[in-house]
Structures are given as C-alpha cells and as structure tokens.
Amino acid sequence: MDRNFEELIAEADSVSVAGWDFSWLAGRATEERPSWGYQRQQAQRLTTARAALDIQTGGGEVLAEAEHFPRTMVATESWPPNLAKATRLLHPRGAVVVADPDEPPLPFADEAFDLVTSRHPATIWWDEIARVLEPGGVYFAQHVGPASVFEVVEYFLGPQPEARKGRDPEIEAAGARAAGLEIVQARTERLPMRFNDIGAVVYFLRKVIWMVPGFTVAQYKDRLRDLHEQITTRGPFEAYSARTLFEARKPH
C-alpha cells in the first residue's frame, strides 16, 4: 500500500542530511552520471600527485573512494557536520581535514600543492586556487553547471531568469584565465533526474540547501502537496542536472 503525503514528508524531514552521501534516495530518485567519471579520474590523478588539496570536500565520501593518497593530502570543509564526517573518514587514511569558511584566503602557503581538486564547489576563488598551485600544477574539478535542477527550483520559487545565468562555464573559464591559469578542458553535460516520490524532493532540498534557500516543509507544504498529487497521478517529477568537467593548469 502506498504511503500517504504526511508519512512521506515526515520521514524525509527527519532523516539526517549530514555528509554528501545520497544513498537514502536509492529507489526514490535517479540521476544519470556524466560520461567522464570524475571520481575515477580524480583517483588516478592522486596516484601521481606529491601534494594534493581537495576543496569543499563535503563529508569526504568522494575523496575517500580513492585507493591511494599522496604523501601530503589535505581537504577543506566549512559545514561542521560535514567536517566531523570527513575527519572520521579521512584521518585514518592520513589525510588532514581543515576547517575553512569557503572564503579567501585558503589557509595554505603559496605553491603548496601540485594538484587541487573539488567536486561541486559552491564557490570558486580562482586567485586562491592559482596561488596555492605550484607552477605546472593542475586544478581538476567537477562543477555544477548552469541552471542545474532548475525544474525543481522554479517549481517552488517561480521563474529565475537571472539565476539561470550563473555557473556559466565560459564565465568560469574567463575567471580562471584572469587568475593566470590555462584552460585544459571545460565540458558540460545535462543529465536527466527523476524524483519518484515527494519524500525524495524534500530530502534533496534539505540537503542541497542553496537550491531553495531557507526551505522548510512547513513553509512550502501547499506546493509540496500539489507536487505529491502530480507525482501520484502522472509519474516521477523530471528535472535535469548540469555538470561541467573543469581542468586548468598553472603555467611553468
């Protein structure tokens, strides 16, 4: 028997959203992955790095999948629950997790790393990335692309024409060049997502807090109820994520 609206939103509103593990959504939502396999490529690059920095590591889940860390492996994170989770995951592997407010400056010396990585950074400070990279060093990351999952955002907030212009890979590339980096690649893909029940939507918005800032079930209960009816009668709610594979090098 299908669970009702109140049960679904109550469950999704109470489960922990610490870390960057989305396994709670298994069977409730799907998202196609980019073709390039960021996690695999990141792990490969870590095998040849001497000193690496992972910016905005979340709960450390992505970084922890790498089999090999360089001798110097550092990760930064700002959100306390994620800091605690990343510390538990990464410290046993010899990686240092540093509390950082995601604002410049990065708490590291000039030219400290030959590899800087990040998966879905919320903010990108190109001058700081360039500063902590040694000459010849590489920034390798997967960014959230433009208008990612805006079907969900605009369902709750209405049209967002200005926000749709954000995370433009050409603008990001221009920022990297202005900081003195050379663009090696910048590839964007749009990928289908499906939310199979309203609980998946609630969990997603509680976890990815910048999608609908200040989201609470109480505030948006009427819209959630309408969306529940839509999913129940028409099937999964469809959206599209955008991802950009970004690689830049600091010249020798």
Predicted confidence (pLDDT) per residue in 16-73, tens digit? 998 778 999 999 999 999 999 999 999 999 999 999 999 999 999 999 999 999 999 9
In the chain, how many domains are there?
A: 1
* Tens digits of residue pLDDT in 81-94: 899 999 999 999 99
pLDDT given at position 144: 96
- The identity of residue 13, as a single letter, is D
Q: Is the pLDDT of residue 164 over 50?
A: yes
Give the Cα separation of 63 and 109 in Å (integer): 22
For residue 39, the enclosing domain spans 5-249
The answer to whether 244 touches 186, Cβ cutoff 8 Å, is: yes
Average pLDDT over every residue of 109-120:
98
The predicted structure's pLDDT at residue 2: 56
How far is Cα 113 from Cα 135, in angstroms, rounded to an integer? 9
pTM summary value? 0.89
β-strands 29-31, 182-195 pairing? antiparallel
83: domain CATH number is: 3.40.50.150
* Separation between Cα atoms, residue 24 and residue 105, nearest integer Å: 35
Q: What pLDDT, on the 0 to 100 scale, is given for residue 97? A: 98
User: How many angstroms separate the CA atoms of 113 and 128, rounded?
Assistant: 12
Distances (CA, A) of 62 to 12, 31, 54, 87: 23, 16, 10, 13
pLDDT of residue 1: 37
Give the tens place of pLDDT for each residue, 175-230: 999 999 999 999 999 999 999 999 999 999 999 999 999 999 999 999 999 999 99
Strands 51-54 and 72-77: parallel
Nearest to 110 by CA among 130, 125, 92, 93: 130
pLDDT in tens, 120-134: 999 999 999 999 999
